Structure 1
Amino acid sequence: MHKIIVTGLTGFVGTNLKKYLSSYEIESLSVRYIPNQKIEINADAIIHLAGKAHDLKKVSRPNDYYEANFELTKQIFDSFLKSKATVFIFMSTVKAVADKVDGILTEDTVPNPKTHYGIAKQQAEEYVLGRKLPEGKRVYILRPCMIHGPENKGNLNLLYQLVAKGLPWPLAAFQNKRSFLSIENLCFLIKNLIENKMVVSGVYNCADDEVLSTNELVQIISLALKRKSRSIAVPKSIISTIAKIGDIIRFPLNSETIQKLTENYEVSNKKIKTALEIEKLPHTAQYGLERTIKSFINK
C-alpha cells in the first residue's frame, strides 16, 4: 500500500493524520455534494473524513447534513467500489447511535440518533453496510467519541476558560463518566486498520482506554495551568434553577450546557482492540488531555 486519498484533509483530524501517515503518499480529495457527480479514486485506500460537523449554534439547514454526510458518502463509497482501492475508512460518530448513553455504548447498541447530524451519519453507515463488497476490499466505519488534541478546543474550551479565570467549578456534586479520544490514539487506530489485512470489515467504536468524570477533567486542567483546583458542590436543585434562568437569559450555564458537562457517555473500545490484538492504546486519556490544555496555554 503506497497511496492514500483523504477527504477533509485540511480539518483537525486530517492535518494530524497527514503527519502520522508520513510514510505514505497522501493526496487530498476536495469534495462537496453535487447530484450525479462522478468521483475518480486512483489510490490504494481512501479515508473519508469530510462532512458537516454538529452545529453548536443551530443555524444549519437540516438538508445540509443529509447532503454532506449521507449523499456525499454514498457517492464516494460507490466510487470506491468501482475503483482498484482496497480499503475504505468512513469517519462516522458515536452520535450516529445515541445522544445519551445509559450504561456503556458498544457496537451492538441499537442506533437511535436524535439530531439531523446523527441521523445523516447513521443513514450513511446503513448504506455502506448494505452494499456487497467485492473480494479483496475492506471497509471500516469508525465511531469516535469526543476527539481532543492540540489546537482542537471543542467543548473543552468552556471548562478551560472557567479554570483559567480562577473561577470555582460549581458542579462538583455531579458524578459522571465520560469517554474521550486523543487524536494520537485515533491516528494509531487508522494506521493499524490500513496495514492489518486480517481485521474484518465492520463498525468500530474509537475511544481512549480510560473514562473520566468532569470533576477529574477540571483537576487535569488545573494541573496543566499549575493552579489549585477549586470546586464547589452546589446542590443539584440550585443548579437546576440556575439552568432554567440561563435558558431564558443569555448565560453560560443553561440546561444544554449543564447536561453536556455532567452527562454520562461511556464508550467501549474493546472490539477494535480485540480485532487489532492489542491490550492498550499508546496514550492515556490524561496524557492526551494534558497536551490539549497545554496547547491552549501556549496560544
Structure 2
Amino acid sequence: MKHILLSGSTGFVGQNLIQYFQETTLGTIQPLNLREPLAGNLPSADAVIHLAGKAHDTGNTSKPQEYFDINYGLTKELFDRFLDSNIQDFIYFSSVKAVADTVEGKLTEESNPQPKTAYGQSKLKAEEYLLSKELPEGKRLFILRPCMIHGPGNKGNLNLLYKVVKFGIPYPLGAFHNRRSFLSIENLLFILNRILTNQSIPGGVYNLADDEALSTIEVIRIIAEASKTKAKIWTLSSDLITKLAKVGDKIHLPLNSERLKKLTESYEVSNEKIKAALAIIALPVNVREGLTITIKSFSNS
C-alpha cells in the first residue's frame, strides 16, 4: 500500500488519479494545497506526485512571469522539501512543450530543448533545477513529459471536435495533413502504477504518449464512429483557413491561430524509452480505443 502526496488534485489528471486509487488497492492519496505556503516538513509518504501548475493559455492573456512563479517557483519549493524528507520518489509532470512547440520527425528524450513559449520555458527551467540537484541515496526522480492527455471528463480540442462532428458541422481543415500523438488517461495511470510499485525502474526523463500517432482527419472519423454520426470533411484552401484564424485572433472566435496550430500541425512523440523502462512492448490501451472511450464519455455527459 502506497501513500502519495498529490499536488494538483482538483485537475483532470488529479481527479482521475484519486478515483484510480479509490478503485484499486494501490494505496491512499493525500492532497497538497500549494496555493498556501508550505509550512514545516512534508507529511510522511512514499512518493510525491507534482501535477499542479499553470497550464498553457491558448488565449495568450497570461503574463509570462505567472508561468515562472508557478511552474518553476512552486516546483523548486516542493522539490527542496522532498530532498529534506524521507520520501523516496518525486514524480514531476512536465510537458513535451518543455522541449519543442513544433516537431519534425519524432520527439525523443534526446531532442535539444528549445521551447518558444513562457509555458514551455517555465517547465524546462523547473526540469533543469530538479536535474541539477544531487539525489540522496535511495531516492528517485521522474520527470514525465506527456503529450495531450485525454479521457472521460476531459475538455479542450477533442471536445470541440466532438461538437463539430456531432452537430453535423463540416470539418473545414481537410487540406491539412498531419500526425499527432495522444495519451489516454488509462495508459497514464498504468505507467504511474508501474513506477510506484516497481523500485527497479530507474528515474529519469520520460516522454509519455500512446503507441501510435493519428492525423486529425483520422480523429474526426473516430469521433463520427463513436458518436454514430457521419463525418463531413471539407478541403478548403489552407490559405483561406489561415486568414480566418487570424480574424479569430482579433475577435475571439473558436478558431484562432493557436487552435488551428493544435488541430493541424504534426507533433509525434516517441514513447520507446518509457516502454523499455517498464519492460513492455506496447501500452495496454491503443490510441483508437482510448479516443473512443473519451468520445463516448462526451455522448454520455
How high is the TM-score relative to the length of structure 2? 0.94
SS at match of 2:61: coil
1:165 CA drift (Å): 1.5
Residue matched to 2:254: 252
Task: Tell me if the contact between 1:178 and 1:265 (Cα under 8 Å) persists in the aligned partners.
Answer: yes
- Judged with a 3 Å threshold, the aligned counterparts in structure 2 of structure 1 residues 4 and 240 are, in CA distance, closer, same or farther, namely closer
Deviant stretches of 4+, over 6 Å:
none
Residue matched to 1:73: 75
Flag structure 1 segments of 5+ consecutive residues without an equivalent. Answer: none
Query: How does 1:35-114 map onto structure 2 within 5 Å?
Result: 38-114=40-116
CA distance in 2, matches of 1:230, 1:296: 19
- Judged with a 3 Å threshold, the aligned counterparts in structure 2 of structure 1 residues 111 and 225 are, in CA distance, closer, same or farther, namely same
CA distance in 1, matches of 2:247, 2:140: 51
1:100-133 deviations in Å (ceiling 9; x for gaps)? 1111100001111111111111111001111001
Task: Tell me if the contact between 2:179 and 2:265 (Cα under 8 Å) persists in the aligned partners.
Answer: yes
SS at match of 2:225: helix
Task: Tell me if the contact between 1:177 and 1:213 (Cα under 8 Å) persists in the aligned partners.
Answer: yes
Identity %, equivalent residues:
54
Residue matched to 1:2: 2
SS at match of 2:231: coil
Task: Tell me if the contact between 2:58 and 2:259 (Cα under 8 Å) persists in the aligned partners.
Answer: no
1:30-65 deviations in Å (ceiling 9; x for gaps)? 11374x854523111111111111122333222221
Are residue 31 (structure 1) and residue 34 (structure 2) matched? yes
1:247 CA drift (Å): 4.0
Task: Tell me if the contact between 2:151 and 2:293 (Cα under 8 Å) persists in the aligned partners.
Answer: yes
How high is the TM-score relative to the length of structure 1? 0.94
1:193-215 deviations in Å (ceiling 9; x for gaps)? 11121121210000001100000
SS at match of 1:25: strand
Query: Which of 216, 219, 223 is matched with 2:218 structurally?
Result: 216
CA distance in 1, matches of 2:58, 2:153: 18
Task: Tell me if the contact between 1:32 and 1:72 (Cα under 8 Å) persists in the aligned partners.
Answer: no
Query: Which of 182, 203, 206 is matched with 1:204 structurally?
Result: 206
- Judged with a 3 Å threshold, the aligned counterparts in structure 2 of structure 1 residues 138 and 172 are, in CA distance, closer, same or farther, namely same
Residue matched to 2:17: 17
Task: Tell me if the contact between 2:165 and 2:230 (Cα under 8 Å) persists in the aligned partners.
Answer: no
1:165-188 deviations in Å (ceiling 9; x for gaps)? 201111112110000000110111
SS at match of 1:178: coil
Residue matched to 1:176: 178
